[in-house]
Chains A and B, each alone.
Chain A
């Protein structure tokens, strides 16, 4: 099963809608709540990243009996140095975004912590694609 969600850059008031929807679906599927929690936390971080940094993006969630695979693809500035971005506390978020309570530099590390597999590919001035997998 594939679920698709559109995310608009800069739309902080709706950040979290996608992860809430996905959570509802996973609960209906009787997936272990510990896995649901991890998936939702990682997805929420990814969703906020698109809102805070990119112009717009698409999130696809593939669910089968083996795994939950999430692809977050955005058009945006891209990440110049992925290794640096993975460091805890490193953030390029603007002061305004930080004032909103986002951009603490915990996003990517938190995503990695809550998933079994994570892969980032990015091209500067084009966009970023993040793949997250949690095995059931």
Chain B
């Protein structure tokens, strides 16, 4: 993807709700957020769709762009592509058959589990490791990590394994299943139930492929509510549930999306790092060659990987417990695994992605101009207090200096500069209004934590 292209992101700031509280701005790992006129605004070229802003927002002002179930109507085959972490969201006394039944009742005609392609993928990672002399190889599993590397660690883009993710491979299995039965590609609708925003971005604007084979994305949190409502209102007889065929997965596939899920099955020295801050720290060291002779890195943006996804309902540790419970009983029941030579033959031609382009956050593509800009930034920094208070609407003083250099902010946005340079308080008020909006100086008893909160 070229640098000038507009990025489509899964996260959207709802300006009618946002109060410009700076929580999101402070946690963004790529410093992509600012506050202007009392609302958070996004620098889209820097956003990696990790969802940390969504997690940090105290008033749910960040929305996830998703599809709703009405999109199913366009297709004859309405396939739900369900990750195993979703089945881990439910109370343990709710059987998988009941959950499947509820999914059918929502209007889906077929259910596939994302991890059906894991055995194939694992084998291919193994082969990839054998053929490649790049160290370390980095898993392509987490789309937020792929984007983080593009933006913050561009030199490591070549280390990313150029294999498609489990959900895309399983989607290919679905397409194959139904085109064989005579359905045309337009009749097949594949809907992925997502635990995070990054996977929405990966489907709506994929990296390393032209267009995703998945037709829609459904928010796992909303999906959880729909299923719980179905399960609560309808009671099924044992007989009714007997008819439901669930998918059998090996334990390895069930726990693949958890931390160490991939790393424990690869060759050589591997690390599994979760949490975006931990990943950044680790990649710094990898980039500096401070950590050497590592064969494989499993990197996940969320703490406890997909169990900690922003659209998960259940506590992440309870989710992990449920998933391991399922894994511990899955092997014995494992019958007629769909995995046959035909599927292997099919996927082998569809497993690769093209190169992953860096999209670095440099000051300028031209080195000379970039040096000039950095010199200017360092000059401006002489005057800024370096306390990163955020009152200017940027996450830290350095970012303000950068914005000033790029004509996106003014030095007097800093309150300390205002105090030094402005004699007129009206002028200072105008500046603060520009950043924090009209209402910032008004008394408001309905705000969060105030006397009549919620009124």
Contact = CB atoms under 8 A, between A and B. Distances in A.
A28 B374 CA distance: 8
B289 A28 contact: no
A27 B358 CA distance: 12
A136 B370 contact: no
B455 interface: no
A30 B289 contact: no
Interface residues of A, number: 22
Nearest to B372: A1
Contact of A28 (B284, B287, B366, B370): B370
Contact of A30 (B287, B288, B365, B375): B365
Contacts of A28: 361-363, 370, 374
A61 to B, nearest CB: 12
Which has the most chain A C-beta neighbours within 10 Å: B287, B363, B367, B378?
Answer: B367
B155 A36 contact: yes
Nearest to B157: A33
Contacts of B363: 28-30
A46 interface: no
B437 interface: no
Contacts of B358: 33
A29 B155 contact: no
A116 B155 CA distance: 21
Interface residues of B, number: 22
A65 B155 contact: no
Contacts of A44: 288-290
Given A1-B371, A31-B367, A37 B361 contact: no
Contacts of A20: 284, 288
A64 B155 contact: no
A16 B366 contact: no
Interface string A13-50: 00010011001010111110110110011001000000
Interface of A is mostly: helix
B364 interface: yes
Given A19-B288, A40-B288, A30 B366 contact: yes
B370 A23 contact: no
Interface in B281-316: 284, 287-290
Contacts of A40: 287-289
B360 interface: yes
29 contacts: A1-B371, A16-B290, A19-B288, A23-B287, A25-B374, A27-B360, A27-B362, A28-B361, A28-B362, A28-B363, A28-B370, A28-B374, A29-B362, A29-B374, A30-B362, A30-B367, A33-B154, A33-B155, A36-B155, A37-B155, A40-B289, A41-B288, A41-B289, A44-B288, A44-B289, A64-B371, A65-B367, A65-B371, A136-B367
Interface of B: 154-155, 284, 287-290, 358, 360-368, 370-371, 374-375, 378
Given A20-B288, A30-B363, A41-B289, 12 more contacts: A1-B374, A25-B374, A27-B362, A28-B374, A29-B371, A30-B366, A30-B367, A31-B367, A37-B155, A40-B288, A64-B371, A65-B368
Closest 5 CB pairs of A and B: A33-B155, A30-B362, A29-B370, A65-B368, A28-B363
Interface of A: 1, 16, 19-20, 23, 25, 27-31, 33-34, 36-37, 40-41, 44, 63-65, 136
